[in-house]
Amino acid sequence: MSHNQRIVSGMRPTGPLHLGHYFGVIANWIKLQEAYDCFFFVADWHALTSEYADPTRIKGFVPGLVKDWVAAGLDPDKCAIFQQSQIKEHAELFLYLSMYTPLGWLERCPTFKEMNAELTQKDLNTHGFLGYPVLMAADILMYKPKAVPVGKDQLPHLELAREIARRFNHLTSSEFFPEPADMLTEECKLNGLDGRKMSKSYGNSIKLSEPLDEIIPKIKGMKTDESRLRKSDPGDPAVCNLYPYHKLITDPARLPEIQEGCKNATWGCVDCKKVLIESLERFLTPLHERRAACTDERVAEILAAGNKKAREYAAATMADLRALVNF
């Protein structure tokens, strides 16, 4: 397949994936693997940008991330699943692109300022954190993809990758790096169980690998429409934290019944939660079965095959680049 049919994307191994990850990222990847030559990578070097002081857990999170991907529906026969740190050419391209990237481009990157302000418990004033958009550019440009699936929050990074590609091409009088398009991922409107953003750090998520008997108490305690103090109080699904879960997971044929029961107060929130628990069981059971079948040995096989494919592309890219810059 030519590069104009290639897709590249990755995720940091920082812990188990939850429903927000599935509907915000993975569901789209599953569709893309059917139509494109997809490269999905475990971004363990990127995890170092914020976890450098205690990197011991990163390696342990790698197999779990691959298992979550396979459980969710990524098929290693249809896409390359590889580990960033095992393709040393990424570090080499990062070095080359760093030489071509003006410092001001990185300092004005909005994510650098935002994360520095938010993660006050960590010292992010490092060269690695400032420069990680260049590493991201290397991850992408290495495979000369047609497009990169991103959320709106990642658009500045992708635009920076395109700017770096343009500058490199201009200074080398070449068209070495095609500029990848953005393939905007539909925003996942799924808050955490408490109404805040779903996050591992908040403890308000439903993990893809979580047993149902641990999920049920979470659903029972889930925040709903605050105006419904009693079952007889009519509610509004549009402001209920639970209803977006139904829209994503419950059989669409049941949604009118759920809406009517809430608005007319013929259903209580307990009834609504019972249906959601049933829906989650139907949704998660096959994921749990696929995850159980994906052993550590199988993960090693998947990464070995994906690393081999990625390394072949990366080695060819770097051989051509070295020749271009006369190294």
* Model confidence, pTM: 0.92
* DSSP-derived secondary structure for 159-211: HHHHHHHHHHHHHTTS--S--PEEEEPPP---B-TTSSB--TTTT---BTT--
Going residue by residue through the chain (327 aa), what tens digit of pLDDT does each one get? 444 699 999 999 999 999 999 999 999 999 999 999 999 999 999 998 878 878 888 999 999 999 999 999 999 999 999 999 999 999 999 999 999 999 999 988 876 666 655 555 566 778 888 899 999 999 999 999 999 998 888 888 999 999 999 999 999 999 999 999 999 887 777 898 988 888 877 789 999 999 999 999 999 999 888 888 788 888 899 899 999 999 999 999 999 999 999 999 899 899 999 999 999 999 999 999 999 999 999 999 999 999 999 999 999 999 999 999 999
- Estimate the share of the chain in helix, then strand, then coil, as percent rounded to the nearest 5: 60, 10, 35
Q: Which amino acid is at 119?
A: L
Cα–Cα dist 241/192, whole Å = 8
Residue that the structure tokens 């029961």 belong to: 261
Q: Which two tokens stand for residue 26?
A: 């993975």
Strands 37-42 and 181-184: unpaired
DSSP-derived letter for residue 24 is I
Cα–Cα dist 295/31, whole Å = 24
SS3 151: coil
pLDDT at 231: 82
Taken as a whole, the chain contains a residue count of 327
pLDDT at 199: 81
pLDDT at 2: 42
Domains of the chain: 3-190+295-324 (3.40.50.620), 212-289 (1.10.240.10)
CA nearest neighbour of 136 among 290, 11, 316: 11
pLDDT at 293: 97
Cβ within 8 Å of residue 232, ≥6 positions away? 265
pLDDT at 4: 61
